[in-house]
Amino acid sequence: MAGQQRYLRYIVFALVCLVLLLFISSSSSVPSAQWPTSKFKTGGAKPSQPATSNQDALKPASPPTTPNPDSKLPPATASGERMNATFVTLARNEDLWEILKSIRSVEDRFNRKFNYDWVFLNDKEFNDEFKKMTSAIVSGKTKYGLIPTEHWSYPDFIDQKRAAAVRQEMKEKQIIYGDSESYRHMCRYESGFFFRHPLLLDYEWYWRVEPSVKFFCDINYDTFKFMAENKKKYSFTLSLHEYEATIPTLWDSVKNFTKMYPQHIVEGNSLKFISDDEGKTYNNCHFWSNFEIGNLNWLRSQAYLDFFELLDQAGGFFYERWGDAPVHSIAAALMLKKEELHFFNDIAYYHVPFTHCPTGEKFRIDHKCTCQSTDNFDWKGYSCTSKFYEINGLPRPEGYENEQD
């Protein structure tokens, strides 16, 4: 009898334990099991068309367990039509890890809301790792293009022995990239060919991004749409003086161009930005072309193509070390109306060694900026941005004095 009772006690005790265990495990597992994985799956799907509205992709499959009560937060993806636009990056396979940082920065501050495409160009085939890693973090479509040899080699009118002698000379003078052959092909490609790549023929607008750059503030509107609506063709965030030794005869060629093609020189242009003596000499001011938002159809226009062709024939990409920044800038200053150029003061940007950080604390707070105003290059002596303000009659922002040298 006593043995049976003990047996019963054991059973009751075991049952109680089981019920307790079930209760603990079920109550603690509810929230973690409902962590919104399903929402990530649907929200993360790439829109197949860049131009369609993204409303559907945003609807979560099930209601989130912890709704955010802050109704002031903007939607994760901007609504409305997309422009006919793409990011474009020229890079080598070994640039992968630095370009990933740039892309992450662009996505976080801008493109996660807009999902624009990204075109990558290379003089060699991109490898699988490059394609895999970059396509994993671009929110739009990614495309990878090989540059045709004709666009990345010596034209037959170039005397390669003379070019080699120049490289040796520039090396001795320690001119930056002075002895580099690939840097020259790169500058010539960015000056005259990238916009003619078959992958870019599909687009009207481009935003150029290089490895190792940073964006410091939120960009909450569509910059491409801004360009179109305000009839802008070319834009910049940083401007500075070019290193004279890399372009000794560039201005002579530009003068040849203006003589040969007076019809391409536009009235009401920005000649004053690039020359302090009505065109006699170049003051070396240029927009820094590692950042550009611009119109591809302008670069593909007869005016720009004639300009590039004349410069190319002059040989300065190889006999000197002409950069694509002064080439684009001089073209924009002579062949576009003043009003067609835009200074993106609100795009805070870094490319070694210069920073553009918008002047004014309120702006930087409102846009969640992480740059320091004392690093702002705009009002320092080597920048040309104050000249841009001057020729356009723009008032300098309050507080600029504190950011001078």
Task: Copy the structure tokens of residue 155.
Answer: 């034209």
- Tell me: does residue 295 bind ligand NAG (CB under 6 A): no
Which residue, 111 or 269, has its beta carbon nearer to ligand GTP?
Answer: 111
Task: Copy the structure tokens of residue 65.
Answer: 């367990």
Shortest gap between Cβ of 152 and ligand NAG (angstroms)? Answer: 23
Residues numbered 276 to 305 that lie near Mg ion (CB under 5 A) are 290
- Tell me: does residue 252 bind ligand NAG (CB under 6 A): yes
Backbone angles phi, psi at 297, to 5 degrees: -70, -30
Of the candidates 315, 320, 309, 311, which has an alpha carbon nearest to the alpha carbon of residue 159?
Answer: 315
- Tell me: does residue 236 bind ligand NAG (CB under 6 A): no
* Catalytic-role residue among 107, 242, 292, 320: 292
- Tell me: does residue 123 bind ligand GTP (CB under 6 A): yes
Residues numbered 337 to 376 that lie near ligand GTP (CB under 6 A) are 352
Query: Among 87, 177, 189, 203, which residue interacts with ligand NAG (rule: CB under 6 A)?
Result: 203
Task: Copy the structure tokens of residue 15.
Answer: 């049952």
Distances (CA, A) of 92 to 101, 124, 127, 198, 288: 15, 7, 10, 19, 21
Shortest gap between Cβ of 117 and ligand NAG (angstroms)? Answer: 11
Return the range that interacts with ligand GTP (CB under 6 A); candidates 83-91, 241-249, 279-287, 380-388.
83-91
- Tell me: does residue 181 bind ligand GTP (CB under 6 A): no
- Tell me: does residue 258 bind ligand NAG (CB under 6 A): no
- Tell me: does residue 290 bind ligand GTP (CB under 6 A): yes
Residues numbered 28 to 57 that lie near Mg ion (CB under 5 A) are none
CB 86 within 8 A of CB 203: yes
Backbone angles phi, psi at 170, to 5 degrees: -70, -30
Residues numbered 70 to 109 that lie near ligand NAG (CB under 6 A) are 84
Return the range that interacts with ligand NAG (CB under 6 A); candidates 100-108, 147-155, 196-204, 281-289.
196-204
3-state SS of 335-361?
Answer: HCCHHHEEECCCCCEEECCEEECCCCH
Residues numbered 140 to 199 that lie near Mg ion (CB under 5 A) are none
122 binds, among ligand GTP, ligand NAG, Mg ion, none (CB under 5 to 8 A by kind): ligand GTP
- The residue behind tokens 């005259």 is 192
Asked if the peptide bond before residue 353 counts as cis, ω within 30 degrees of 0, the response is yes
Distances (CA, A) of 151 to 18, 63, 194, 196: 75, 53, 9, 10
- Tell me: does residue 210 bind Mg ion (CB under 5 A): yes
- Tell me how far apart the alpha carbons of residues 380 and 387 are, in angstroms, rounded to a whole number: 11
- Tell me how far apart the alpha carbons of residues 235 and 6 are, in angstroms, rounded to a whole number: 88
Task: Copy the structure tokens of residue 101.
Answer: 């940082």
Angle, alpha carbons 122-125-131 (nearest 5°): 85
Return the range that interacts with Mg ion (CB under 5 A); candidates 105-113, 205-213, 259-267, 271-279.
205-213
297 binds, among ligand GTP, ligand NAG, Mg ion, none (CB under 5 to 8 A by kind): ligand NAG
Is 292 labeled as catalytic in the residue annotation? yes
CB 347 within 8 A of CB 356: yes
DSSP state of 388: H
Which residue, 193 or 379, has its beta carbon nearer to ligand NAG?
Answer: 193
Which residue, 256 or 345, has its beta carbon nearer to ligand NAG?
Answer: 256
Q: What residues form DSSP beta bridges with 350?
A: 214, 355
Query: Among 204, 210, 218, 306, which residue interacts with ligand GTP (rule: CB under 6 A)?
Result: 210
235 binds, among ligand GTP, ligand NAG, Mg ion, none (CB under 5 to 8 A by kind): none
Q: Is the dihedral of CA 201, 230, 284, 88 positive or negative?
A: negative
- 161's CB contacts (< 8 A; 6+ apart) are none
Which residue, 288 or 400, has its beta carbon nearer to ligand GTP?
Answer: 288
Kindly list the catalytic residues: 292
Binding interface with Mg ion (CB under 5 A): 210, 290
Binding interface with ligand NAG (CB under 6 A): 84, 202-204, 249, 252-253, 256, 297, 314
